[in-house]
Amino acid sequence: MQLKRVVVTGIGALTPIGNNLEEYWNGLINGVSGADFITQFDASKFKTRFACELKNFDPLNYLDRKEVKRIDRFTQTAIISSDQAVLDAGINKDNVNVDRVGVVFASGIGGLITFQEEVVNFAKGDGTPRYNPFFIPKMILDIAAGHISMRHGFRGPNFAVVSACASSTNAIMDAFNLIRLGKADIILTGGAESVISEAGVGGFNAMKALSERNDDPKSASRPYDKDRDGFVMGEGSGVLVVEELEHALKRGAKIYCEIAGCGATADAHHITAPHPEGLGAKNVMLVAFEDAGMKPEDIDYVNTHGTSTPLGDIAEIKAITDVFGEHAFKVNISSTKSMTGHCLGAAGVIEAIACIQAVVHNIVPPTINHFTDDPELDSRLNFTFEKAQQRTVRAALSNTFGFGGHNACVIVKKFEA
């Protein structure tokens, strides 16, 4: 069968460096760090006392009080960014067939804050079970997709995707495939995560995954720096409106870019550590190129997973140099996690949005917080350190990798009729 072409016609973003698409993009190209000391709980006794939290965020500015009480913070952010994306795409019940508009939405963990609160409240009591009746529907990670569909009346395919930190890239891939196979006209896709809590920070601290640079939080996320010591936890949400090309053209939609192809693989190596030679990362990029009918030479920008961990950064760069060959020295590479922190299950879509904006504006966002070269990384590579760079970006590739060895990749390119 002839696969349909898929384009992006709407974007919503709620991130640690901007509460909408314009603010987020300005934060990226200006090299703004979203890291600061944690305000959501008292972290004074934790090994890590900082994170990339949302700034000036009050859900009551967007949602009514009753609704806020009934949904977890991750779902609040999902709804808000989906509202932004729907408005941006100009879709409503009058100009689309709601039976063919779906939601494929991701979270790596879901309602961890709700889970923690309910268990702590029970433990403080006398043993009598007094749980919030909304406990389970607040916690389950598929509920964000459900709320988005109910809010807008979308009755097409509706489900959640989870693959740890690769979750929202996998969601984009599922949405892409549903549309190119003709199963839907439009899919809202992306991911949300909000686990900056005692359980979230404490759990990742116990794994020794987080940076402990409490003396200078804003420079703690330093991908590819010799002295990187772990990732900085972030939170937020991103939503893409992905749409079948002819459907978008027929309704006169603006088109940001075309989704060219996607890939998914497994390391089959370790629960948290990457394959030391970047095998899974290498394979996922090759799969994505095959899916897109493209070559490495067609890519001008790679938004890396680049978490600022000692092993992960090296493994991914090995994979890129293996796949791209000599072109690896001509492509721009950057990790926007140096600014947003690691938004876990939302990272994939937030970084895909950075790639889309790079394609639209021909600007590559930087990797900030670089102080010392790592001798294990080839200095000939262009990591786009410190300052955004202008160049023609015909196509961009976004990598995301998750605990469990999950790898996902998406390629976006300039739209040509």
Catalytic residue among 165, 343, 355, 409: 165
Report the alpha-carbon distance of residue 366 to residue 175 in Å, rounded: 29
Report the alpha-carbon distance of residue 142 to residue 140 in Å, rounded: 6
Q: How far is CA 192 from the centre of its chain?
A: 8
> How far lies 279's CA from each of 144, 170, 404, in Å?
33, 19, 14
CB atoms under 10 Å from CB of 295, counted, come to 10
Structure tokens at 306: 């680049």
Greatest CA span in the chain, whole angstroms?
66
Q: Could you tell me if 399 and 302 are in contact, meaning their C-beta atoms sit under 8 angstroms apart?
A: yes
Please provide the DSSP assignment of 56-93 as one string: S--GGGTS-HHHHHHS-HHHHHHHHHHHHHHHHHT--T
Pairing of strands 389-390, 363-364: antiparallel
Query: Which of 173, 190, 184, 158 lies closest to 4 in space, CA to CA?
Result: 184
Report the alpha-carbon distance of residue 209 to residue 201 in Å, rounded: 10
Query: Which of 286, 303, 302 lies closest to 238 in space, CA to CA?
Result: 303
Let me know if 165 is a catalytic residue. yes
Residue pointed to by tokens 């109910």: 150
Structure tokens at 2: 């002839």
Structure tokens at 152: 């807008």
Query: Which of 373, 312, 315 lies closest to 337 in space, CA to CA?
Result: 312
Please provide the DSSP assignment of 203-256 as one string: HHHHTT-B---TT-GGG---TTBTT---B-BB-EEEEEEEEEHHHHHHTT----
Amino acid at 346: A
Q: Could you tell me if 410 and 6 are in contact, meaning their C-beta atoms sit under 8 angstroms apart?
A: no
Q: HSE of 340 in the Cβ direction (CA atoms, 13 Å)?
A: 38
Q: What are the residue numbers of the active site?
A: 165
